[in-house]
């Protein structure tokens, strides 16, 4: 089931791919009536599975499309036609928010710029995602997650092992983070419109979000911190990953170095450096590169002596923050993810099922939000048109004239 927090809120989703669609997907989960508007060729995200090995992307089985667009209704409209734009404006006249990642120039040509929409629908909240922001030389450039969030944001190089090539960016991580930011902004805009009768323009960019989420590293570089960092030259040897005897890894996150140093040394048998003043404080251990490397290698030497579960029990018993370092292939069957309903089984139209990642916000009293199937291209066109006051004969004529498309016709 969907939550009912946003019941009665209508949002027009004029978006493609992942960042902007994910923001309104979340609002749909929370109860908003989200109507996705597509052209006759559809959102390119419908075929994104081609980038993910054997991931299917058919009408009957399209897990990527289900994730980004579940709980929405979908219509297909030719917005270059006069009647198609008339239908769009009828939607906008009833909407609380309009969300788009279409570039500003294209929106302006369609008469859907913020300025024109605000003049006609002063209460409407307009949410916009761009690659690089509204100003500066990069503003008009096309920007996707991999380039605007990862490459320009610094992470591709600075997350790579020192001396290697940039890492391959994971798909849509920046998109979904940026989508979260846009969703919060849209909600703020809707509250303002409800209180004042005046809407708002909400602007979020992939690059701006990347700067925000990487802020600690960006600040650190202004004060001498250097990236990329080697595993043997971290900012803290107790915030690092270590390989165990069985080839599996454990990642430590011991922020309070001095508080846990003695207990950590006792667990791992680091008696040769436990009481050495050069190692007892974080400031002293990182002050010398050779000392820091020696500390990391001593910890590494101890980890490799036993399997991961042996060390996991020791660290758990000592109440030390750590995690078994998983891979993405492990998540769909991870007990913690399933117990918290972060992953839920979803049955597709084909009859096959997969584990669907859920949006992360949960509410008291909900046994985990469910996902209604994402819309087929034009699946709800006639339904939405009727809600706008069009008669069945008018709808049939618009279908015949190529103004709208209804799935199955």
Residue 162 and residue 238 in contact, taking contact as beta carbons nearer than 8 Å:
no
Catalytic one of 13, 33, 78, 175: 175
For residue 181 the two structure tokens come to 């930011």
Report the C-alpha gap between 376 and 380 in whole angstroms.
8
State the CB neighbour count (10 A cutoff) for residue 13. 28
CATH 3.30.1540.10 residue window(s) in the chain:
241-328
For residue 380 the two structure tokens come to 């709800």
Backbone phi, psi, residue 76, to 5°: -120, 125
DSSP string of 24-75, one letter each residue: HHHHHHTT-EEEEEE-TT--GGGGGGGGSTT---SSS--HHHHHHHTT-EEE
Report the C-alpha gap between 409 and 400 in whole angstroms.
10
Compute CA distances 24 → 16, 78, 112, whole Å.
Answer: 11, 22, 18
Residue 2 and residue 29 in contact, taking contact as beta carbons nearer than 8 Å:
yes
Looking at CATH, the fold of the domain delimited by 241-328 is given as formyl-coa transferase, domain 3 (3.30.1540)
How many helices and strands, by DSSP H and E, does the chain display? 19, 12
State the CB neighbour count (10 A cutoff) for residue 170. 11
Q: What is the pLDDT along the chain (409 residues), one digit of tens a residue?
A: 578 899 999 999 999 999 999 999 999 999 999 999 999 999 999 999 999 999 999 999 999 999 999 999 999 999 999 999 999 999 999 999 999 999 989 999 999 999 999 999 999 999 999 999 999 999 999 999 999 999 999 999 999 987 789 999 999 999 999 999 999 999 999 999 999 999 999 999 999 999 999 999 999 999 999 999 889 999 999 999 999 999 999 999 999 999 999 999 999 999 999 999 999 999 999 999 999 999 999 999 999 999 999 999 999 999 999 999 999 999 999 999 999 999 999 999 999 999 999 999 988 765 667 789 999 999 999 999 999 999 999 999 999 999 999 999 8
> What is the DSSP-derived secondary structure letter of residue 29?
H
CATH 3.40.50.10540 residue window(s) in the chain:
10-214+379-405
pLDDT at residue 1, as a whole number = 58
Report the C-alpha gap between 149 and 258 in whole angstroms.
35
Q: Which residue has the tokens 């436990």?
A: 274
Helix then strand then coil, % of the chain, to nearest 5: 45, 15, 45
Q: Is 319 one of the catalytic residues?
A: no
pTM of the predicted protein model: 0.93
pLDDT at residue 366, as a whole number = 59
Report the C-alpha gap between 175 and 15 in whole angstroms.
12
Please name which of 355, 385, 350, 382 lies closest in space to residue 371, comparing C-alpha atoms.
Answer: 355
Report the C-alpha gap between 180 and 191 in whole angstroms.
17
Residue 372 and residue 346 in contact, taking contact as beta carbons nearer than 8 Å:
no
Q: Is the dihedral of CA 232, 238, 243, 249 positive or negative?
A: negative
Q: Which CATH number fits domain 10-214+379-405: 3.30.565.10, 3.40.50.10540, 3.40.190.180, 1.10.287.70?
A: 3.40.50.10540
How far the first Cα of the chain sits from its last, in Å, is 30
> What is the DSSP-derived secondary structure letter of residue 214?
T
Backbone phi, psi, residue 375, to 5°: -70, 140
Q: Which residues of 247-261 are buried (b: 16+ CB within 10 A; e: fewer)?
A: eebbebebeebeebb
Outline where 70-214 has alpha helix (H).
Answer: 82-94, 104-109, 114-120, 155-158, 173-196, 206-213
């Amino acid at each position: 089931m969907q939550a009912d927090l946003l019941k009665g809120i209508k949002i027009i989703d004029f978006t493609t791919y992942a960042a902007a669609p994910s923001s309104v997907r979340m609002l749909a989960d929370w109860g908003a009536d989200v109507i996705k508007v597509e052209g006759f060729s559809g959102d390119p995200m419908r075929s994104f599975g081609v980038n993910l090995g054997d991931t299917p992307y058919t009408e009957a089985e399209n897990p990527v499309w289900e994730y980004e667009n579940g709980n929405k209704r979908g219509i297909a409209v030719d917005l270059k036609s006069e009647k198609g734009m008339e239908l769009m404006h009828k939607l906008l006249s009833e909407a609380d928010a309009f969300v788009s990642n279409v570039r500003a120039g294209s929106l302006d040509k369609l008469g859907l710029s913020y300025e024109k929409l605000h003049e006609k629908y002063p209460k409407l909240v307009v949410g916009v995602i761009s690659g690089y922001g509204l100003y500066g030389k990069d503003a008009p450039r096309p920007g996707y997650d991999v380039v605007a969030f990862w490459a320009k944001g610094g992470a591709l190089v600075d997350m790579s092992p020192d001396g290697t090539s940039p890492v391959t960016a994971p798909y849509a991580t920046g998109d979904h983070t940026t989508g979260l930011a846009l969703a919060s902004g849209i909600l703020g805009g809707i509250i303002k419109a409800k209180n004042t009768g005046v809407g708002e323009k909400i602007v979020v960019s992939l690059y701006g979000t990347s700067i925000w989420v990487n802020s600690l590293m960006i600040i650190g570089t202004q004060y001498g911190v250097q990236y990329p960092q080697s595993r043997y030259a971290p900012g803290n040897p107790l915030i690092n990953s270590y390989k165990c005897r069985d080839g599996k890894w454990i990642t430590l996150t011991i922020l309070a170095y001095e508080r846990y140093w003695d207990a950590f040394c006792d667990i791992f048998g680091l008696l040769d450096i436990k009481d050495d003043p050069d190692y007892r404080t974080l400031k002293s251990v990182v002050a010398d590169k050779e000392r820091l490397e020696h500390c990391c290698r001593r910890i590494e030497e101890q980890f490799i002596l036993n399997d991961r579960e042996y060390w996991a029990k020791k660290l758990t018993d000592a109440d030390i923050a750590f995690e078994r370092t998983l891979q993405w292939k492990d998540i769909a069957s991870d007990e913690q993810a399933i117990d918290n309903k972060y992953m839920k089984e979803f049955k597709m139209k084909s009859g096959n099922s997969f584990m669907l990642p859920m949006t992360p916000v949960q509410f008291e009293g909900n046994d985990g939000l469910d996902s209604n199937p994402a819309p087929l291209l034009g699946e709800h066109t006639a339904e939405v048109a009727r809600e706008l006051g069009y008669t069945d004969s008018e709808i049939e004529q618009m279908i015949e004239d190529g103004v709208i498309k209804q799935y199955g016709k």
